[in-house]
Structure 1
């Protein structure tokens, strides 16, 4: 197993992309079961998710299940003025969408739909790889690290949860000082807790 962060990213992204459509579909359904069993999801009303790309675990079935449960779902939007930061916008089935500079679908910016991050209950984060101590390796842009920094320092506000395929687990993530371990990571088969 490579120990350099970029090598890990490359290896795990390749592993993730090799999953068949059926494996992806089954994983997405199992993720819904795992998440809906968590007390945190039951107790939360405002939940930020993301739309999957590049072989990531498909979040759409989870979004649908949260809508059916009467929860409000929010998606990240690249901040237009604060480089490297995210805004979260209320997301519904009819929300107008646009592609951001990374080619990822996001809600069309509308100030009326923005929710302050501190009013979210949960922020589900994408990740490339993780280890059993809930260290997360992202794509390298630092968007979620910056978004989660206030929580990391105070443990107050939205609880961050990583979502990943089981195949994205590695033995150990080499960490940098800015890396933020997550309190919980959920895969289709299990839940990992940092504590």
Structure 2
């Protein structure tokens, strides 16, 4: 199956989840992600606001704030097209919609955190497979932003994909630029490679 067809199928699958199923999934993934973090010293986490029936990250964000862990959201880079910046996100952060209609903090360069200064970066995904391969929405923003990190084989931040269990398939068609994730967390399981 082609990547575009997989994207369509997986987006349809997660869109079919009821509000109750979405809420239960959010509660379970929140437990699983903090179980995964239990022995780690984490000060800064990059995460995203859910969109398009993605697994709801709001409970994770609330728990990070409760634990006094700084939260950073992706912002479309204003000068380097196709790249992301990660900006501090607090309850009162002024927000704006980006060109895709996704909320992001209004750009404030003094609140931007370098990727390598994040302890954890949680990424969205449309599908993932048995080998940890991740299929995104197709814009390549995370791939481009993290290319240097992968090339240099850095260990920080820990990159974690977040997904519904229904987004798991046996095998994805991969491209030369694809780098498998070492960790993917779903409501039912934490996959480690």
- TM-score, normalised with respect to structure 1: 0.96
The 4+ residue runs of structure 1 with deviation greater than 4 A are: none
| Residue pair 1:148, 1:180 contacting (<8 A) in 2 also | no
Secondary structure of the structure 2 residue equivalent to 1:155: coil
Question: May I ask how many residue pairs the two structures share in their alignment?
Answer: 192
CA–CA separation in structure 1 for the residues paired with 2:151 and 2:76: 23
CA–CA separation in structure 2 for the residues paired with 1:118 and 1:90: 15
Secondary structure of the structure 1 residue equivalent to 2:71: strand
Secondary structure of the structure 2 residue equivalent to 1:112: helix
The reply on whether 1:179 has 2:178 as its aligned counterpart is yes
CA–CA separation in structure 1 for the residues paired with 2:40 and 2:89: 19
Compute the displacement of 1:40 (Å): 6.8
Measured on the aligned residues, the alpha-carbon RMSD in Å equals 1.1
CA–CA separation in structure 2 for the residues paired with 1:25 and 1:160: 24
- CA 1:137–1:49: 2 relative to 1, 3 Å: same
Secondary structure of the structure 2 residue equivalent to 1:26: helix
Residue aligning to 1:25: 23
Residue aligning to 1:164: 163
- TM-score, normalised with respect to structure 2: 0.97
- CA 1:192–1:52: 2 relative to 1, 3 Å: same
Compute the displacement of 1:69 (Å): 1.1
Compute the displacement of 1:51 (Å): 0.3
- CA 1:10–1:41: 2 relative to 1, 3 Å: farther
Secondary structure of the structure 2 residue equivalent to 1:43: coil
Unaligned runs of 5+ in 2: none
CA–CA separation in structure 1 for the residues paired with 2:39 and 2:84: 22
Unaligned runs of 5+ in 1: none
Compute the displacement of 1:155 (Å): 2.5
CA–CA separation in structure 2 for the residues paired with 1:43 and 1:66: 12
Secondary structure of the structure 2 residue equivalent to 1:35: helix
For 1:135, which of 133, 136, 155 is the aligned residue? 133
The reply on whether 1:59 has 2:50 as its aligned counterpart is no
Residue aligning to 1:145: 143
Secondary structure of the structure 1 residue equivalent to 2:56: coil
